[in-house]
Amino acid sequence: DHAVKVSVNPEDQGWCQFELLKHNGSSKDELIGLGMASESEGLPGIAAGIFHHVALMSLGSDDAGIFANRSMRNRQTTSRWSL
């Protein structure tokens, strides 16, 4: 919780918030909400990591493929910015 408060940029804050949600055993819906917010805020790297995690949480259901694809789309966005 402290790391989120002292983070100096939105990307660091997002990663800290994601780790805090995982640590607290947050629901899949809460993680999806953070992923969607990250996309809206222009943070595709965080969104990709979150949706990858949600895909793993969803293994064995149709949702796993949906979230894996969403993660990959965000990763592709990140790769374009890195070039």
pLDDT in tens, 27-79: 999 999 999 999 999 999 999 999 999 999 999 999 999 999 999 999 998 76
| pLDDT band for position 6 (cuts 50, 70, 90) | confident
Q: Are 50 and 35 in contact (CB under 8 A)?
A: yes
Residue 31: per-residue pLDDT: 98
13: nearest Cα among 39, 43, 36, 40:
43
pTM: predicted TM-score of the whole model, two decimal places: 0.86
Q: Are 1 and 20 in contact (CB under 8 A)?
A: yes
The pairs formed by 36-39 with CB atoms below 8 angstroms and a separation of 24 or more are 38/14, 39/74
